[in-house]
Amino acid sequence: MPRRRMSWIDPVSRALHDQAGQHGPVMLMYHAVAPGKGTPAWPWAVSMRRFCEQLDFLAAEGYATPTMGELVASPPSRPGRTAVITFDDGYVDNLGACEELKKRGMRASFFIVSGSVGTTPAWRDDGRPAARLLNGDELREMRAEGMEIGSHTVNHSRLTDLDDVSLTHELADSKRALEDLLGERVGSFAYPYGAWDARCADAVEAAGYTAACTTRTGWALRDNAPHRLRRLTVFNTDTVGRFARKLYFASHDVGWPDLARYALRRLRGV
């Protein structure tokens, strides 16, 4: 039976996305999912309605949705549509997102700030949700339902600003705390603020993580380096059409002016 296509995709986005999946997996970064239909004020939050529309689009277009750890352990051997869904920080509203993922047989990777588990986030407020982070029971339940739990440091620290001792503390102590909470090994990591350099990547590997993701755009495995995986941010204003274009280009530069420049370059053979 042919897949049911999303009727609300504009023709240009549809035509572009029909060619998606030829360059390898993409990784999507979410943070918070706000109840209802309105557009959240925080750019890194999406409404539940838009989140569900995006999941339905992935399902209708035949995307596999492995965890990040699974992607690194077993990269696709041929072109196809794969999207790793990730969440940073660990806000309690991620429980609703987890339920929607389960309904569709999808999985995701959740990167948790271990020092704020079950409490209000301890790092500087930049407009993020005011609610607490997921607690231990909730994280264990999510893991039992097939979701991956990874580390996002102890304190949501910008790793490039830390000395070597503090860097090791943020990586090793978070890993240990989450492993104690879950009763299993934690192998995946996400760099807070997307801040990393070669020293940080080496420290992440030395701490025992098998994979780490950045906020650099592009195909997830483009660099052939498991501690420098690329991700695409999903923002509060991303419609399904814009979402589809991001999946095709593996880029944030998918507005209509960007597409016009892209088409002009193609006409000029650049």
- Supply the pLDDT for residue 1: 33
- Supply the pLDDT for residue 141: 98
- Supply the pLDDT for residue 7: 52
Q: How many domains does the chain have?
A: 1
109 assigned to some structural domain: yes
Query: CATH no. for residue 218?
Result: 3.20.20.370
Per DSSP, the three-state class of 33 is strand
71 assigned to some structural domain: yes
Helices (H), the chain: 11-17, 48-60, 68-73, 94-103, 136-144, 164-182, 198-206, 240-249, 256-268
12 assigned to some structural domain: no
44 assigned to some structural domain: yes
- Structural domain for 256, as ranges: 21-268
Give, for all 270 residues of the chain, the pLDDT tens digit.
345 555 579 999 999 999 999 999 999 999 999 999 999 999 999 999 999 999 999 999 999 999 999 999 999 988 889 999 999 999 999 999 999 999 999 999 999 999 999 999 999 878 888 889 999 999 999 999 999 999 999 999 999 999 999 999 999 999 999 999 999 999 999 999 999 999 999 999 999 999 999 999 999 999 999 999 999 999 999 999 999 999 999 999 999 888 888 877 877 876
- Supply the pLDDT for residue 265: 80
Query: What sign has the CA pseudo-torsion 230, 236, 240, 242?
Result: negative
- Supply the pLDDT for residue 6: 56
1 assigned to some structural domain: no
14 assigned to some structural domain: no
2 assigned to some structural domain: no
Q: CA 114 to CA 230: how far, in whole Å?
A: 23
189 assigned to some structural domain: yes
